């Protein structure tokens, strides 16, 4: 690129007239051109160095201006009087109400946010400053403000911040005063791009965990962390006693050792003050995680895990979470599985088991006369291979994507059974959504809804 010519065209003839010294003119042009060439080289090196896929370098290098509408002043054409209106909305209404125009100024209330509109469409700032360099004020995303793509919700009063202002008389005859700030769009996580592309944008808020699963494989711990994250459950990261429990606005907080854990008020609290917790415990939320070892000690409640879908050579059956008597035929003790609609042990299945028991090659697995079929499958048959998970999700989409991610990275010979109770979704649509998207092996194609308790049951197999 010929930067000298480009600079000449930008400058135009204006200053050549002001300064008639051609050497001086050429010198300034060369200065700009040299600097531009340098920037171009940096750009090329940046691309060539292969960091292009990581947005960090770009976003932290180039700030962008943010103009926030402070006030509007209109002139009454008949009287000539002016009327200034503050454009900062300080309501108690919900974010949605504010943006949909359902909340007026009369709904102000202490503790609510301050809504300010942006003049331009801008990328999401991770933090804002009052100046590009030598800034004295910094506001951080989530802590000081929230950005929804059109407007800011400030958690602090912007009128008290003494922000730089600029006034513009717009073509509609309204004088608008803007606060002028600068945004820095640092990416939330470096591997967002990969997570978006490989998995789903739904999982990008959890890209650290997803990337850990992708790169290191799905483990008991990172799977728990991901499913916890998508269901707003909070996993403990240290051991100790629950020292304090308190609430702040719409958040509940728990102090364990030196760590504070927070969750929405709607999340279930699983430990009281004084309880001892360990790393991996679910402090808040609906997530339940059990290995076969845990289930040997105590079985999960039947409302949490009503039964497990098992595939046999005569079709899909359910291993119920209830005490049962084994079926005896021809001296063979058969696991009391039931049909999908609660029928007693299907005859075909009994015949298959009896036939297999009389074959020399077939692996013999003794079935006790009194048995809980779910516990037998998890703890005896699949000892060490299985995990049972139960969760409540307000939307199934992120859960579905999380299961897909786990499916691709979980050891193919392991098994994970996930029970999803959907809130707010039509439960009937859940199984089809799972089976359609997950496919292949991990989230098995055979998924049933146990109508009795409206649980959607998904088997994660790999």
Partner 1 sequence: MSDYTEPNNSEFTSGEQVILDIMSTVYPKLMTTSGSVLREVVVRPLAYVYAWLTANFNDMRKRTTMSYLRMSNATDDPVADAVASNYFVTRRAGVRSKGVVTVILNTETTQFDSGDTFNADGIALATPMRTIVMGSRFYVDNGVQYVPSIPYDTANGLYLANIPVYAVESGNIELAPGASVAVEFANSSIESVMLTSPVSGGRDVETDAELMARAEYNTASAGVGSYYGIKKKLANSPVDVLGLSIVAGEDGPMWRARYNTVGVSPGGYVDCYVKTYNQYAVDTLVQTITHDTPQTHHEVEIRDEAHAGLFAVTQLTVNGTPVTNYSVAFGSSLSGVPAAGARLSTLQTLILTFDTNASLQELQSSITVMYMPGVSAIQTFMDSDVNQFVGQSLLVKGAVPITVTLACKLEYNGTPDENVINGIKQCMAARVNAYPVGAEALNFSDLQDAVRTSYPEASIRLPCSMTGSLVLKDGSTAGMFSTAGVLNAGYPVSVTEWSRAVCYFSLIADNIRLELI
Pair 216, 223: CB distance under 8 Å: no
CB of 92 or CB of 163, closer to partner 1: 163
Q: Hey, which residues between 338 and 357 contact partner 1 (CB under 8 A)? A: 349, 352-353, 356-357
Contact status: 34 vs partner 1 (CB under 8 A): no
Return left, alpha or beta for 336; rule: phi > 0 is left, psi -120 to 50 is alpha, else beta: beta
Q: How many other CB atoms sit within 10 Å of the CB of residue 77?
A: 8
Q: Tell me: does residue 39 bind partner 1 (CB under 8 A).
A: yes
Q: Check residue 454 for interaction with partner 1 (CB under 8 A).
A: no
Q: Which of residues 58-97 bind partner 1 (CB under 8 A)?
A: 58, 62-65
Binding piece for partner 1, criterion CB under 8 A, among 154-162, 227-235, 256-264, 376-384: 376-384
**Binding piece for partner 1, criterion CB under 8 A, among 100-108, 242-250, 276-284, 454-462:** 454-462
Give 283 or 387: the residue with its C-beta nearer to partner 1: 387
Least distance from partner 1 to the Cβ atom of residue 176, Å: 16
| 415 touches partner 1 (CB under 8 A) | yes
In sequence order, the 6+-apart residues with CB closer than 8 A to the CB of 379 are: 292, 295, 296
Q: How many residues bind partner 1 (CB under 8 A)?
A: 91
Q: Nearest to residue 402, comparing CAs of 460, 349, 322?
A: 460
Which residues, in sequence order, are CB contacts of 198 under 8 Å at separation 6+? 214
> By C-beta, is 30 or 278 nearer to partner 1?
30
The residue range among 137-145, 262-270, 278-286, 304-312 that interacts with partner 1, by the rule CB under 8 A, is 304-312
One of 313, 341, 424, 426 touching partner 1 (CB under 8 A)? 313
Residue whose CB is less far from partner 1, 235 or 462: 462
β pairing state of 415-422 and 386-393 = parallel
Footprint of partner 1 on residues 223-282 (CB under 8 A)? none
What is the rounded CA–CA span in Å between residue 451 and residue 449? Answer: 6
Site for partner 1 in 168-197 (CB under 8 A): 180, 182, 193-194, 196-197
Binding residue (CB under 8 A) for partner 1 from 116, 367, 422, 433: 367
Q: Which is nearer to partner 1, 17 or 78 (CB)?
A: 17
| Least distance between partner 1 and beta carbon 10 (Å) | 5
Q: Quick one: which of 137, 385, 427, 449 contacts partner 1 (CB under 8 A)?
A: 385
DSSP state of 346: -
Residues 2-31 that bind partner 1 (CB under 8 A): 6-7, 10-11, 14-15, 18, 28
- Are 289 and 236 a contacting pair, CB within 8 Å? no
Sole binder of partner 1 in the list 90, 176, 214, 288 (CB under 8 A): 214
DSSP 286: S
Cα 113 to Cα 89: distance, rounded to the nearest angstrom: 8
**418 bridge partner residues:** 389, 458
Q: Is 444 in the site for partner 1 (CB under 8 A)?
A: yes
Q: Name the minimum Å distance from CB 261 to partner 1.
A: 29
Ordered DSSP codes for 10-35: HHTTHHHHH---HHHHHHHHHHHHHH
Q: Which of 22, 101, 363, 426 lies at the binding interface for partner 1 (CB under 8 A)?
A: 363
CA distance 39 to 34: 9
What tokens were used for 33?
């051109």
* Phi, psi for residue 214 in degrees, rounded to 5: -65, -45
Which helix (DSSP H) or strand (DSSP E) does residue 84 occupy? strand 82-86
Residue that has been written with the tokens 């991610």 in this structure: 405
């Amino acid at each position: 690129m010929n930067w000298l010519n480009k600079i000449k065209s930008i400058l135009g003839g204006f200053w050549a007239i002001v300064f008639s010294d051609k050497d001086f003119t050429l010198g300034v042009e060369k200065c700009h051109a040299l600097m531009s060439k340098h920037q171009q080289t940096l750009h090329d090196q940046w691309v060539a160095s292969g960091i292009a896929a990581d947005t960090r370098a770009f976003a932290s290098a180039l700030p962008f201006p943010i103009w926030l509408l402070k006030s509007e002043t209109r002139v009454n054409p008949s009287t000539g009087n002016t009327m200034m209106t503050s454009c900062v909305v300080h309501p108690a209404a919900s974010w949605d109400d504010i943006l949909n125009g359902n909340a007026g100024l009369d709904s102000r209330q202490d503790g609510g946010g301050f809504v300010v509109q942006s003049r331009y469409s801008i990328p999401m700032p991770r933090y804002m400053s009052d100046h590009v360099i030598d800034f004295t004020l910094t506001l951080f995303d989530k802590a000081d403000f929230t950005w929804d793509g059109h407007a800011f919700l400030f958690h602090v009063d912007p009128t008290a911040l003494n922000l730089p202002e600029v006034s513009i008389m717009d073509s509609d005859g309204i004088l608008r005063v803007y606060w002028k700030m600068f945004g820095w769009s640092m990416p939330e996580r470096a591997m967002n791009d990969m997570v978006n592309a490989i998995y789903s944008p739904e999982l990008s808020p959890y890209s650290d965990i997803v990337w850990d699963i992708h790169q290191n494989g799905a483990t008991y711990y990172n799977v728990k962390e991901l499913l916890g994250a998508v269901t707003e459950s909070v996993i403990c990261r240290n051991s100790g006693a629950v020292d304090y429990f308190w609430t702040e606005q719409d958040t509940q907080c728990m102090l364990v050792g030196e760590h504070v854990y927070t969750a929405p008020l709607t999340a279930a609290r699983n430990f009281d003050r004084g309880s001892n917790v360990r790393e991996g415990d679910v402090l808040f939320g609906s997530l339940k995680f059990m290995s076969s070892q845990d289930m040997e000690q105590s079985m999960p409640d039947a409302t949490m895990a009503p039964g497990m879908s098992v595939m046999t050579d005569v079709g899909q059956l359910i291993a119920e979470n209830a005490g049962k008597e084994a079926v005896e035929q021809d001296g063979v003790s058969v696991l009391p599985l039931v049909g999908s609609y609660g029928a007693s042990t299907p005859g075909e299945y009994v015949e298959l088991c009896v036939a297999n028991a009389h074959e020399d090659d077939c692996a013999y697995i003794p079935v006790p006369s009194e048995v809980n079929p779910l516990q037998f499958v998890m703890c005896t048959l699949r000892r060490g291979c299985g995990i049972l998970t139960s969760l409540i999700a307000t939307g199934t989409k992120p859960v579905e994507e999380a299961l897909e991610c786990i499916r691709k990275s979980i050891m193919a010979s392991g098994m994970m059974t996930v029970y999803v109770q959907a809130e707010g979704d039509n439960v009937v649509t859940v199984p089809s959504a799972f089976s359609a998207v997950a496919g292949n092996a991990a989230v098995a194609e055979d998924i049933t809804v146990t109508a009795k308790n409206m649980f959607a049951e998904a088997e994660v197999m790999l």
